[in-house]
């Protein structure tokens, strides 16, 4: 009898954990650098893209960033790109259990505090796709790109009201500065970043950027 009770308790605990919303996480090195290099390639444009990663015990690890646009977002690119990324997450080129966990963006007008409405719409859509309330939105802090002592990123989550974002203390970055980004910038690595926009015009442009960093 005792064994059965323990078994039921274990199953209940596992179910509770599976249903619990993710509580924060970490943006890994590769994702961090790709986000910054994508913004650096298009300093006068709005850049954006998707975050993918894995989840363990309610904590998300963002392992990669997939650049999407270097212009105002177009629905067809987002829809087609999302389908590509979902299939990519199932491939052997990504960690087991990978899925979409958020969106990143940089504005063309410096540090704009208000999240663009199209970005909010895409973010809410991605929450449905990922099936978690822990999805994050990462904003590039343009004015901090030249300050190596900062991460140049602001990691935000959707407010409970659903109409805005706030910086989250539950999210961290693996890199605590931009020194490696500066090094890659000097090497010209930003020039070989490709996004979904590029892929739509030239199918040889690899939006996965497998060997970028």
The per-residue pLDDT for range 108-127, each reduced to its tens digit, is 765 566 788 888 888 888 87
**Stretch among 45-49, 160-164, 165-169, 199-203 having the lowest mean pLDDT:** 160-164
On the question of pLDDT at 198 being above 90, the answer is yes
**Alpha carbon of 50 to those of 46, 92, 195: distances in Å?**
14, 19, 10
Share of the chain above pLDDT 90, in %: 59
d(CA 73, CA 192): 21
Averaged pLDDT, 89-105: 94
- The residue assigned the tokens 């308790």 is 9
On the question of pLDDT at 193 being above 90, the answer is yes
Cα-trace Rg, the chain: 18
On the question of pLDDT at 159 being above 80, the answer is yes
Q: 156 is written with which tokens?
A: 């935000």
Q: Domains in the chain and their CATH numbers? A: 22-201 (3.40.140.10)
Q: What is the pLDDT of residue 110?
A: 59
The residues near 212 (Cβ < 8 Å, ≥ 6 apart) are: 33, 34, 37, 189, 192, 193
pTM: 0.86
Averaged pLDDT, 48-58: 92
Higher pLDDT, residue 3 or 38: 38
């Amino acid at each position: 009898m005792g064994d059965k009770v323990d078994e039921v308790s274990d199953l209940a605990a596992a179910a509770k954990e599976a249903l619990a919303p993710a509580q924060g996480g970490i943006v890994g090195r590769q994702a961090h650098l790709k986000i910054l290099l994508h913004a650096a390639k298009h300093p006068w444009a709005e850049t954006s893209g998707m975050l993918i990663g894995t989840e363990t015990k309610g904590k998300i690890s963002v392992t990669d960033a997939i650049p999407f646009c270097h212009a105002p977002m177009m629905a067809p690119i987002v829809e087609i790109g999302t389908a590509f990324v979902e299939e990519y997450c199932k491939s052997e080129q990504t960690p087991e259990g990978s899925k979409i966990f958020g969106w990143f963006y940089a504005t063309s007008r410096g540090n704009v505090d208000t999240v663009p409405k199209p970005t909010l719409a895409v973010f809410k859509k991605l929450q449905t796709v990922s099936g978690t309330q822990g999805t994050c939105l990462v904003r590039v802090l343009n004015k901090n790109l030249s300050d190596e002592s900062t991460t140049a990123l602001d990691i935000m989550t959707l407010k409970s009201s659903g109409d805005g974002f706030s910086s989250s203390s539950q999210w961290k970055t693996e890199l605590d500065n931009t020194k490696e980004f500066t090094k890659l910038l000097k090497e010209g690595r930003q020039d070989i970043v490709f996004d979904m926009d590029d892929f739509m015009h030239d199918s040889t442009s690899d939006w996965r950027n497998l060997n970028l960093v």
